[in-house]
Chains A and B, each alone.
Chain A
Amino acid sequence: MKKKLFALFLIVALMLCMVPAAFAADDEITLDVIICQYGPNTNDWFLGTGMDGSNFVDKFEAANPGIKLNLDVVSWNDVYTEVDTRVANDNAPDILNIDVFANYATEGLLMPVKDYCPDDLFEDFFPNFIEQSNIDGTIWAVPDLASMRALWYNADILEEVGVEPPTTWSELEDACQAILDYYDGEIYPWGIDMTTDEGQAAFAYYTFNNGGGFIDENGDWAVNSEENAEAIDFALGLVEDGFTNPNPATQTRYDLQDMLAAGKLAMMIGPNNMPTYVSDKGGEINLGYVSIPCADGKTASGVGVMDRVMAFKDDSAPDQEARNAAIAAFLKFFYDPENYVGWVSMEGFLPAVNSSVAALIESDASFEGWLNMLDTFHTYPSSKAEWDQCKQGVIAAEQNALTGADIQAELDALQAELVG
């Protein structure tokens, strides 16, 4: 009797699970969308009540009958796991918002952008952004937003100590020394983050501004150049001198931003939405920003970060054209200034399309300065297939160097691994 009951239960349970699948109507297209969680309000904007009492999914479905969105907002901690697992199971999302794309593209999982993106929208993207997703002449993803990094400083502290915001490395060292002496170590002069989350950014801040970088002018890997080792040595020197936060391998940029907001840290390199962050954290400090300092005698280089939206192939979809049209509808709706401006300004990032620039500047004049800085935009070589490996490699090299290893040897080994 018991076993029969159980069998019955199992069958009922299984059938109940099938119900949603069975109900899906034939003429409807459902798009699986994964969006990364940029901030505390992302989830609310897409799924809750963050869009004037409504949300993105509801509005989209109302405007596009026949298309349903199965949209999930995933935290950055879990998004790679989720996407990779789904890819391994042949269950990739239709639309994905993430930072990397090269592996998906070279393994033939993505659709070229021209297959689904309407021409007028394609023309609308900033050309130097769209180029970042170019592999051998094919564009595989479109940019969704960008952020520029700059040196943020607590103006009150700098004024109290009597130093100017540094623009070169030697000025930086002098300023750090002055702040350290003045506050006797109570306030950290400089923030460095070499964590597993974003250690590659530290690599970019210092190497780009010492004439180095991840790749050389031909676009080949060059992580072990002399300039790079020198730059990282400089950064490690700052840690050694006691100028920085004490645990750079585990204190993330958000820890640093928290310290800046609380007045515990004097200077750090951070993204353009820093003022929003600081005020969200209840910080009452006077912020200022200058471009990232460069090595003496070298040219300064801006560092930016850009994320992307891409569409996966789905050979099992019954009507490919209808699917492409649905993806196009999603993109058009998303990049419509009416929606996009609200989103970009909510997250505090920089836009990727021309059509929203005017409206953004109108809503917040500070965008203008940042948009002008986009000319110096340098970013990671994320269109190279080995980028993931390179990223984890430089992070490991930095962290090993923090515990005493020789940085040049570490970078040499990484270079050999990337090229070989």
Chain B
Amino acid sequence: MNTGLNRTRWEPYVWLLPSLLLISIFVVFPILIVFKLSFSEISKAGVIGGFVGFDNYVEAVHLPAFKTVMLNTLWWVLSVVLLSTLLGFIIAMVLNQKFRGRKIARSILVFPWATSLVIQASVWNYIIKYEYGNLNNVLLNLGIIQQAINWRSSYQIEFVWECWVGIFVTVPFVTFCVLSGLQSIDDSLYEAAIVDGAGFWDKLRHVTLPMVRPSLTVSTVLNIIYVFNSFPIVYTMTKGAPAHKTDTMITYLYMLSFYERKKGPATALSVIGFLILCLCAGIYMVSVMRKEEQL
């Protein structure tokens, strides 16, 4: 999409330079260090030693909790991303209707997005305490329950709570992405569909979904990255207890590095995580390219 005016060949690169510099220095350089570390020996206190080949990777894969943690991570990413996409989609469909108070509702919905994850996780941690948590307090005082409920009676349930907080903070982003997609839909498309005798589901399948798909793809891919890399929720709520059964990969490698002091395998794990995410990025790139060809 050249504007057709004369530009020297190097001009685009000058425009890119500041951004390129910023990213290279402050993001790529630390990444390279992590790559290097994953092949180095690192002592318990953190002193960096020489090259050890793939030893760290072998050790990482053979850690007793490795399988649990990978499964947890899969569940964590799948449940949080899928459910928040579904919920966000529904909420966006509703908020796209015209009704009184829509503005207020939209403003309220951005709240979780604007709150720090550490704060959000601490609040929910307080809410679901059995002995003095606010959820029991509210439900008891409203008469909905008659006895305090132990909201975290097993680690499986605690993991579900962590997923819930993850969903809670992710939904607004999806909602607003989908809303932006919905607003770009011309009403004439719906009118045409109605003339063709389409019902609610037909309209959803043939008009809404195709038009919203680009926004959904973008938000989903970004969410996969953010959710995979999310640290404060699990760390604040359970620290992976009991025995890493509620850890995701990011919190596990943090615990591994700073609590168990197995720093070598921890860095190896972070590179493994990076490779997994690169796969997702590949999918994203392919979708972007395909779209660009369409335009």
Contact = CB atoms under 8 A, between A and B. Distances in A.
A and B touch in the complex (CB under 8 A): yes
Interface of A: 3, 6-7, 10, 80-81, 83-85, 87-88, 103-104, 107, 109, 194-197, 245-247, 249-250, 255, 258-259, 262, 264, 385, 388-389, 392, 395-397, 399-400, 402-403
A87 B45 CA distance: 7
Nearest to B156: A403
Nearest to B130: A246
A81 B260 CA distance: 12
Given A3-B18, A250-B152, A197 B258 contact: no
Contacts of A88: 42, 46-48, 263
Given A196-B240, A264-B131, A389-B260, A403 B45 contact: no
Given A3-B14, A246-B153, A264-B131, 10 more contacts: A84-B45, A107-B45, A107-B47, A245-B131, A246-B130, A250-B241, A399-B241, A400-B243, A402-B242, A403-B155
A107 B152 contact: no
B242 A388 contact: no
A259 B132 CA distance: 9
9 contacts: A88-B42, A103-B43, A245-B131, A247-B153, A249-B242, A264-B131, A389-B261, A396-B243, A403-B242
Nearest to B240: A196
Interface of B: 14-15, 17-18, 21, 42-48, 129-132, 150, 152-153, 155, 158, 238-245, 254-255, 257-261, 263
A380 B258 CA distance: 19
A259 B242 CA distance: 21
Contact of B45 (A103, A195, A196, A246): A103
Contacts of B17: 3
A194 B155 CA distance: 14
A399 B242 contact: yes
A80 B258 contact: yes
B149 to A, nearest CB: 11
A402 B259 CA distance: 20
Contacts of B150: 246-247
Contacts of B47: 87-88, 107, 109
A96 B150 CA distance: 40
Contacts of A196: 239-241, 255, 259
Contacts of A259: 131
A397 B153 CA distance: 19
Given A246-B130, A250-B238, A396 B244 contact: yes
A322 B165 CA distance: 53
A194 B242 CA distance: 9
Nearest to A108: B47
Contacts, number: 96
B239 A197 contact: yes
Of A3, A196, A264, A395, the most chain B CB neighbours within 10 A belong to A196
A250 B152 CA distance: 9
Contacts of A10: 18, 21
A194 B241 CA distance: 9
Contacts of B259: 80, 196, 388, 392
Contact of A403 (B15, B130, B245): B245
A306 B164 CA distance: 39
A410 to B, nearest CB: 9
A99 to B, nearest CB: 13
A400 B242 contact: yes
B44 A107 contact: yes
A247 B44 contact: no
A392 B131 CA distance: 27
A81 B261 contact: no
Contacts of B255: 196
A6 B155 contact: no
A88 B42 CA distance: 9
Nearest to B239: A196
Nearest to A262: B132
B241 A195 contact: yes
Nearest to A265: B131
Contact of B152 (A247, A388, A395): A247
B260 to A, nearest CB: 5
Contact of A388 (B15, B46, B260): B260
Contact of B243 (A7, A84, A264, A399): A399
Given A246-B150, A247-B130, A103 B243 contact: no
B155 A249 contact: yes
A34 to B, nearest CB: 14
Contacts of B257: 84
A389 B260 CA distance: 6
B119 to A, nearest CB: 15
Contacts of B261: 84, 103, 388-389
Given A3-B17, A247-B130, A399-B242, A84 B153 contact: no
A360 to B, nearest CB: 34
Of B43, B48, B130, B244, the most chain A CB neighbours within 10 A belong to B43
A243 B76 CA distance: 33
A399 B245 CA distance: 9
